[in-house]
Chains A and B, each alone.
Chain A
């Protein structure tokens, strides 16, 4: 069993990168908009379908699909926030919860109606390729996702700290009324933020597709662990989401190895509870955007 620990940890790291990628958009949306976005899993599912259909109908590789899907989902997120969430919630955070929940139900059921419950996968040449690291075989697609998670977290951090839009987003997050007084268009900033969060989850979807399947229910497979990642990392913290995602991936893999795959999931929630007990703001909660 000891010979399996290192490969399991490395595989866990790559799985954790997927969790982090999904959680980055979620934590941004919470950090600024204070929206617990229940539709995040549904948007992940939509992103997976978008990448799948681009592959299926146009032969576009899921990695190349990023250049189409990510901007499209930015627009989708912008429109969702501006056209549905903001008007329907009328400034109430409780309403926002219900609106995103309703969105999730609507998206999931429309997907089921139009695309049926069929499981879909892409059969691409490199789907089974692996990279050997320290004697462990790591799925190529996951290694790419690992690199992408680091890059996206870094880029988002730079965007938030070094650009005027990033500064506006941070200003709105800290003091909405104050930001409004100094001339920041709060509604537009909210929508930009939701758009970026949605684009992030679309990126995660494109990176996930070569190694995973698509069904209308696939969002639920990841959304719970994504919420756990966000809270554990510190709500609104981009580096926190990255660190927590990677940590949870390793905990899940090692837990599965020693406790069995069914019980191994306990490790995630044990780590979550311990974090809340000893550092309620999350691992890197103080550095919230």
Chain B
């Protein structure tokens, strides 16, 4: 049998095909679940890779929870799709990665583990009217530039330091003021230097004299010198601010150089709130206190997150918590604004009074991009757990201060 295709039959067939396609397409679209893209900009490689990957995991858990609960209901149950990009622990890469997020069509993004990265990315995002919800970004410069696209959900260095010092004063006075002198050890980047400067100015108001202040680079290979200087200073208390790897080496060196301290009281300590540090260095971690970002462990969403993190074989760190919460904030803004338009997102976030995050905060209220109702908590390592000691309404254990003699 032979078929002949002439011009007329070809036109008929083409017309039928176009008609079929046109009629069929809406039904295909109706069958698809709408999606909305949220960017996650984190340092997945480089020096901050650990924090960045933990944050990316936290964001993923949040997106899964939101989608499982029906997605963004005001947008027809739109599913949250994360666009994860790597800042490589370098500010210039963080800034360039914003272009990738814009091209991918994100409505807003979260990030970026370190202030230096967040400063660069939010500056780059401002020209696109793209909102950045900071999961971690403690440097005050982040909210002092007047950028309308900046939303720092978690507390900054000033608030954290003020709360940490207030709680230190409470602990010290309750114990009969055994701590009279302090040594400060901090990493020499903007985060550690700014924090150390505030502590240096404020600590004398608690009647505690600073007898030593030591800055160190990141990474740093040897902490024996620092331990020797702390020992020679005869400080009662050590106040460190640095990242996980350096914190681990520092506490080991303190032990090896037999530095006798009444307490190690960290502010945004990289390891003191890290269960991995507690697990792998259990002896030296005991009674270490930290003031840091942390979730409310009693909330149902927090319990579910803890279970998900354990099931994934990950460590429950503050990075996971804050990244999870930041995605919750963005999702809430999408719900309220019912739009993925970038400018609409900025307006929705600016007006946010979200009260359902896993963090122990009041309703979100951004003033000049800073969430005035955020707050840090105090934690203490006890046994193989990290317990909450302040604020009292979230406390899971009574603080031990000063720590028992380590000899």
* Residues of A bordering B, CB below 8 Å: 1, 3-4, 7-8, 11, 15, 109, 112, 116-123, 127-130, 137, 139, 211-213, 215-217, 220-222, 252-253, 256-257, 260-262, 264-265
CB–CB A253/B225 < 8 A:
yes
| Contact of A119 with B222 at beta-carbon distance under 8 Å, contacts A4-B228, A217-B46, A262-B216 already known | no
| Contact of A213 with B49 at beta-carbon distance under 8 Å, contacts A130-B256, A137-B257 already known | no
Which residues in window 45-63 of B have CB below 8 A to A? 45-47, 49-50, 52-53
Smallest Cβ-Cβ distance to A129: which chain B residue = B256
CB–CB B222/A127 < 8 A:
no
Contacts of B229 in A (CB 8 A): 4, 257
Contacts of B219 in A (CB 8 A): 220-221
* Residues of B bordering A, CB below 8 Å: 44-47, 49-50, 52-53, 188, 214-217, 219-222, 224-226, 228-229, 232, 244-245, 248-249, 252-253, 255-258, 276, 280-284, 315
Contacts of B281 in A (CB 8 A): 121, 123
CB–CB A117/B216 < 8 A:
no
Report Cα–Cα, A119/B53, bound state, in Å. 12
| Contact of A4 with B222 at beta-carbon distance under 8 Å, contacts A121-B248, A262-B217 already known | no
Q: Max chain B CB contacts within 10 Å: which of A4, A220, A261?
A: A261
Smallest Cβ-Cβ distance to A11: which chain B residue = B224
Contacts of A252 in B (CB 8 A): 222
Contacts of A118 in B (CB 8 A): 50, 276, 315
Contacts of B315 in A (CB 8 A): 118
Question: What distance in Å separates the Cβ of A127 from its nearest Cβ neighbour in chain B?
Answer: 7
Contacts of A117 in B (CB 8 A): 44-45, 49-50, 52-53
Contacts of B232 in A (CB 8 A): 1, 3-4
CB–CB B50/A215 < 8 A:
yes
Contacts of B53 in A (CB 8 A): 116-117
Option from B215, B224, B276 in Cβ contact (under 8 Å) with A8: B224
Q: Max chain B CB contacts within 10 Å: which of A15, A119, A215?
A: A119
CB–CB B49/A215 < 8 A:
yes
CB–CB B228/A119 < 8 A:
no
Report Cα–Cα, A104/B229, bound state, in Å. 37
Smallest Cβ-Cβ distance to A123: which chain B residue = B280
| Contact of A261 with B255 at beta-carbon distance under 8 Å, contacts A3-B232, A121-B248 already known | no
Report Cα–Cα, A201/B339, bound state, in Å. 56
Report Cα–Cα, A260/B284, bound state, in Å. 25
Option from A15, A119, A130, A260 in Cβ contact (under 8 Å) with B244: A119
CB–CB B214/A112 < 8 A:
no
CB–CB A261/B228 < 8 A:
no
Report Cα–Cα, A118/B57, bound state, in Å. 13
Q: Max chain B CB contacts within 10 Å: which of A3, A120, A220, A256?
A: A256
Contacts of A265 in B (CB 8 A): 217
Contacts of B225 in A (CB 8 A): 4, 8, 11, 253, 256-257, 261, 264
Closest A-B pairs by Cβ, 9 of them? A117-B49, A261-B216, A11-B224, A117-B50, A262-B188, A256-B225, A221-B219, A121-B280, A130-B256
CB–CB A128/B49 < 8 A:
no
Q: Max chain A CB contacts within 10 Å: which of B52, B216, B225, B253?
A: B225
CB–CB A215/B256 < 8 A:
no
Contacts of A3 in B (CB 8 A): 232
CB–CB A7/B228 < 8 A:
yes
CB–CB A216/B49 < 8 A:
yes
Contacts of A264 in B (CB 8 A): 225
Option from B245, B249, B255, B282 in Cβ contact (under 8 Å) with A215: B245
Report Cα–Cα, A135/B44, bound state, in Å. 44
Report Cα–Cα, A118/B245, bound state, in Å. 10
| Contact of A11 with B46 at beta-carbon distance under 8 Å, contacts A4-B228, A260-B215, A262-B217 already known | no
Contacts of B280 in A (CB 8 A): 120-123
Report Cα–Cα, A221/B257, bound state, in Å. 23
Contacts of A222 in B (CB 8 A): 221
Contacts of B244 in A (CB 8 A): 119
| Contact of A212 with B46 at beta-carbon distance under 8 Å, contacts A15-B221, A137-B258, A261-B220 already known | no
Contacts of A139 in B (CB 8 A): 224, 253, 256
Contacts of B226 in A (CB 8 A): 261
| Contact of A128 with B245 at beta-carbon distance under 8 Å, contacts A119-B276, A260-B215 already known | no
Contacts of B52 in A (CB 8 A): 117
Report Cα–Cα, A115/B250, bound state, in Å. 24
Report Cα–Cα, A109/B219, bound state, in Å. 19
Question: What distance in Å separates the Cβ of A103 from its nearest Cβ neighbour in chain B?
Answer: 17
A–B complex contacts, Cβ < 8 Å, 15 sampled: A7-B228, A8-B228, A11-B224, A117-B44, A117-B50, A117-B52, A119-B245, A137-B257, A212-B249, A213-B248, A215-B49, A217-B47, A261-B216, A262-B215, A264-B225
Option from B49, B214, B248, B276 in Cβ contact (under 8 Å) with A260: B214
Contacts of B47 in A (CB 8 A): 217
Smallest Cβ-Cβ distance to B243: which chain A residue = A119
Report Cα–Cα, A7/B230, bound state, in Å. 14
Report Cα–Cα, A7/B232, bound state, in Å. 12
Smallest Cβ-Cβ distance to A252: which chain B residue = B222
Known: A7-B224, A119-B248; 18 extra A-B contacts, CB below 8 A, are A4-B228, A8-B224, A8-B228, A11-B222, A11-B224, A116-B53, A117-B49, A118-B50, A118-B276, A119-B245, A123-B280, A128-B283, A139-B253, A217-B46, A253-B222, A253-B224, A257-B225, A264-B225
Report Cα–Cα, A15/B224, bound state, in Å. 10
Question: What distance in Å separates the Cβ of B221 from its nearest Cβ neighbour in chain A?
Answer: 6
CB–CB B49/A261 < 8 A:
no
CB–CB A221/B252 < 8 A:
no
Smallest Cβ-Cβ distance to B254: which chain A residue = A128
Smallest Cβ-Cβ distance to A118: which chain B residue = B50
| Contact of A112 with B49 at beta-carbon distance under 8 Å, contacts A11-B224, A253-B222 already known | yes
Report Cα–Cα, A202/B2, bound state, in Å. 75
